[in-house]
Amino acid sequence: MIDAELWSLFVNAALVNNFVLAYFLGICPYLGVSGRLDSASRMGAAVTFVMLIASLCAYGIHQVLTIMDARYLELIAFIVVIASTVQLVEMFIRKTSPALFQALGLYLPLITTNCAILAVALFQTQRSYGFVESVVFALGAGAGFTLAMVLMAGIREKLRLGAVPDMAQGTAITLVLAGILSLAFMGFAGIGGET
């Protein structure tokens, strides 16, 4: 029963309410880094990782600020704590595992205060998820982001072989592709149960 609920939460965050294609979060990196397949999948992994950290931080902050009765500070606290935690983890990874840093490191500073990351923190607070739910939600959101990113990168690699009108090159054609992907993702509606 509980497992089924968590599974539906994961599917919802990853597919039905995909962060990029249904909520339009994290569009900047989505348009910017989706040019090549390998960088796109690394970016996806980095985002998932930061989302997980952000979710843990946000859970802690929410608990503390609720006790202190200072919820108006939530937004500022989220931003500052998430950004500094990511910086700390980045330094830690650089020291302990150069290989992992090579894979993720480049993108970490870029995404620390990305709107998709902040949204994970805000949504889980708004919907008052518990600890396990928060972690599952963050993982689902990250998986969804990675999926959307990899799909887009695959299409754009193929697209380089096609003839795109000069004027539509770049932003415009990517937006149209995202629109089509978003319509396709609507087909998932309902498989995760209601939100």
Give the footprint of another protein on this chain (CB under 8 A).
Answer: 21-28, 31, 72, 75-76, 79-80, 83-84, 110, 113-115, 117-119, 122-123, 126, 167-168, 171-173, 175-176, 178-180, 182-183, 186
Locate 160 and state its tokens.
Answer: 């380089």
Q: Which is nearer to another protein, 98 or 127 (CB)?
A: 127
Residue whose entry in the numeric block shows the structure tokens 């949504």: 123
Q: How far is the CB of 136 from another protein (least distance, A)?
A: 19
Q: How far is the CB of 75 from another protein (least distance, A)?
A: 5
Give the H/E segment covering residue 178: helix 171-185
Residue whose entry in the numeric block shows the structure tokens 């990899």: 150
Neighbours of 188 (CB within 10 A): 17
Closest CA to 15 of 155, 192, 151, 153: 192
Distance CA 108, CA 94 (A): 11
Q: Which is nearer to another protein, 7 or 115 (CB)?
A: 115
Q: How far is the CB of 147 from another protein (least distance, A)?
A: 15
Q: How far is the CB of 96 from another protein (least distance, A)?
A: 25
Q: Which is nearer to another protein, 7 or 23 (CB)?
A: 23
